[in-house]
Amino acid sequence: MIRIGLLGAGWHAVNDHAPALRAASGEAEFSGGVALTGVCDADAVKASAVAREFGFGCVFETLEAMLPRVDAIVSVVPPGAMLDVVKTIIRSGRPVLIEKPLGTNLADAALLAQMLDGHPHMVSLNRRFDPAVAIARRWINEQSSPPRAIHGVMTRRDRVERDFIWSTGIHLCDLMCFLVGPLNLIAGNAGCFGAGCVGLLRGTDGLSGTVHIHPSCGRVEEVVDVFGGDWSVHITTGTQRPWNVQCWKGGDIAIGGGMPKPARPSSSAMVPARRPAPSSVPRAAVRRLPPRSPTPCRAPSWPRRFKT
Ligand SMILES: NC(=O)c1ccc[n+]([C@@H]2O[C@H](COP(=O)([O-])OP(=O)(O)OC[C@H]3O[C@@H](n4cnc5c(N)ncnc54)[C@H](O)[C@@H]3O)[C@@H](O)[C@H]2O)c1
């Protein structure tokens, strides 16, 4: 039995983490193995409301009080609180899932990465777990030529907060590196909060790329294209829309499919649900289509650097 403590009972905890933890505790795979032991928030009223709504056993006033009673922590506090919280959790030896971004600046991020090195942890960069991304990444690794270019676009409506580029844009940047390896920003426009930004990227082996992040352009979308010697991949991802993937080769879609638009979700009194309840999620339709030409793929000759 793993006793879970949820730290932070704000927007993201209410909409995503607490429902997911409740679902996990009821799933056959974890049945009896996950206990929703406690919630802690600087605001006790929020903590109590989350405990009641999602079935956590206790409310704790402080992280220090919760740690001895749990085996693992899911931490959903704002970036400014992360450094102190992570220090305390590491001292307790408890595994932790933390949110992105790692603190509020690069120095915080470097320090947090150093502190967490060797400590059991996970960072909630969730695009990596999108089925479209998993399918595309596996397929890219099967190709005989390495990726030559990558293009990523994140668009939103009315997201004018100053930290959008690094706080939410990190999802797109992480996803692009996850697909093709490390990317360096070699040119870009700056001082563009609310107005969007464009960056020119360079990776290894001559790979080049571009990234567009437009927080208030009136459309909500996350799209990544990867281009190889004789192939290309198109991914639609993000938490706010169904996923979709197309893997192209020789003028045909070799693998294509995705999740149809979900039915209208049911919502509880407390949670303004953004996502469908599990039972109402339509089944994904992914087809591996036969190539038009019978020519088999050549054995890959480029190094498999990005295997899962
Ligand atoms: N991975 C994703 O897709 C995703 C999506 C949304 C938000 N987030 C991240 O989740 C984090 C929280 O975002 P949010 O929108 O829920 O913020 P929020 O402000 O709504 O909630 C944060 C909660 O943490 C509590 N808190 C702050 N410091 C605390 C401390 N030291 N101890 C206990 N409680 C404390 C606050 O009282 C508040 O209730 C942010 O880092 C954000 O970037 C990630």
Q: Are residues 284 and 136 in the same domain?
A: yes
| Tokens coding 59 | 């409310």
Show Cβ contacts of residue 128 under 8 Å, excluding neighbours closer than 6 positions: 174, 175, 178
Residue 200 lies inside a defined structural domain of this protein: yes
End-to-end CA distance of the chain: 28
Ligand 1 centre from 121 Cα, in Å? Answer: 17
**Which of 81, 96, 124 delimits the end of a domain?**
124
Is position 91 within any domain?
yes
Q: What is the mean predicted confidence (pLDDT) over 81-98?
A: 98
Assigned domain for 77 exists: yes
What gap in Å lies between CA 132 and CA 59, rounded to an integer?
37
Of 22-36, 113-127, 283-297, the range with the highest mean pLDDT is 113-127
pLDDT at 23 over 80: yes
Q: Which residue has the higher pLDDT, 160 or 187?
A: 187
So what's the pLDDT on residue 284? 57
Q: Which of 76, 165, 166 to mutate to test the pocket of ligand 1 (most atoms within 8 A of CB)?
A: 76
Mean pLDDT for the stretch of residues 76-87:
97
C-alpha 13 to ligand 1 mean position (Å): 7
Domain that includes residue 199, residue range = 127-288
With bands split at pLDDT 50, 70 and 90, how would you rate the model's confidence at 190?
low
Domain CATH for 179: 3.30.360.10
Q: What are phi and psi of 159, to 5 degrees?
A: -100, 80
Decide the pairing of beta strands 121-123 and 208-214: unpaired
Residues 26 and 120 in one domain: yes
- Kindly give the distance from the C-alpha atom of residue 88 to the centroid of ligand 1, in angstroms, as a whole number: 17
pLDDT, position 274: 47
Q: To 10 degrees, what angle do helices 106-116 and 79-92 make?
A: 20
Give the HSE-up count for residue 73: Cα atoms under 13 Å, Cβ half-sphere: 35
State how many domains the chain has.
Answer: 2
Do 189 and 264 lie in one domain? The reply is yes
Question: Within this chain, do residues 195 and 66 fall inside the same structural domain, yes or no?
Answer: no
Of 71, 94, 124, the residue that ends a domain is: 124
CB 124 within 8 A of CB 99: yes
The rounded distance, in Å, linking the Cα atoms of 210 and 224 is 10
Q: Given a cut of 50, is residue 281 above it in pLDDT? A: no
What is the C-alpha to C-alpha distance for residues 264 and 284, in angstroms, rounded to an integer?
Answer: 17
Tell which wins on pLDDT, 280 or 156.
156
d(CA 221, CA 236): 8
Check whether residue 61 and residue 149 sit in a common domain.
Answer: no
In a domain? residue 307: no
What CATH number does the domain containing 104 carry?
Answer: 3.40.50.720
Of 16, 61, 77, 82, which is best to mutate to test ligand 1, by the most ligand atoms within 8 angstroms of its C-beta? 77
Contact residues of ligand 1, CB 6 A cut-off = 7-13, 40-43, 46, 63, 76-79, 81, 85, 99-100, 124, 126, 167, 239
Together in a domain, 84 and 212: no
Say what the pTM is.
0.84
The answer to whether the beta carbons of residues 47 and 77 sit under 8 Å apart is no
Minimum CA distance residue for ligand 1 atom 31: 81
Q: Is 297 part of any domain?
A: no
Give, for ligand 1, the residue of 83, 98, 99, 222 to mutate: max count of ligand atoms closer than 8 Å to Cβ.
99
- Judge if 163 and 233 occupy the same domain: yes
Is the alpha carbon torsion for 192, 193, 196, 198 positive or negative?
positive
Structural domain contains residue 105: yes
| 301/27: higher pLDDT | 27
Q: Are residues 112 and 185 in the same domain?
A: no
DSSP tally for the chain: helices H, then strands E: 9, 15
On whether residue 298 sits in a domain, the answer given is: no
Residue ID of nearest Cα to ligand 1 atom 39: 10
Q: Is the alpha carbon torsion for 25, 28, 29, 31 positive or negative? A: positive
Read off the tokens for 75.
Answer: 């931490």
Same domain, 156 and 32: no
Atom of ligand 1 nearest to the CA of 79: 41
pLDDT at res. 286? 62
- Tell me, in angstroms, the distance from the centre of ligand 1 to residue 103's CA: 12
Tell me: do 172 and 280 sit in the same domain.
yes
Average pLDDT over residues 119-136: 96
Question: Kindly report the CA angle at 70 between 66 and 76, in degrees rounded to 5?
Answer: 65
Closest CA to 19 of 48, 47, 50, 61: 50
Closest residue by Cα to atom 9, ligand 1, is 99
- Contact between 273 and 266 (Cβ < 8 Å): yes
**Residue 300: inside a domain:** no
Alpha-carbon distance of 65 to 9, in angstroms, equals 16
Same domain for 69 and 93, yes or no, is: yes
211 and 231 part of one domain: yes
Token couple for 88? 């305390």
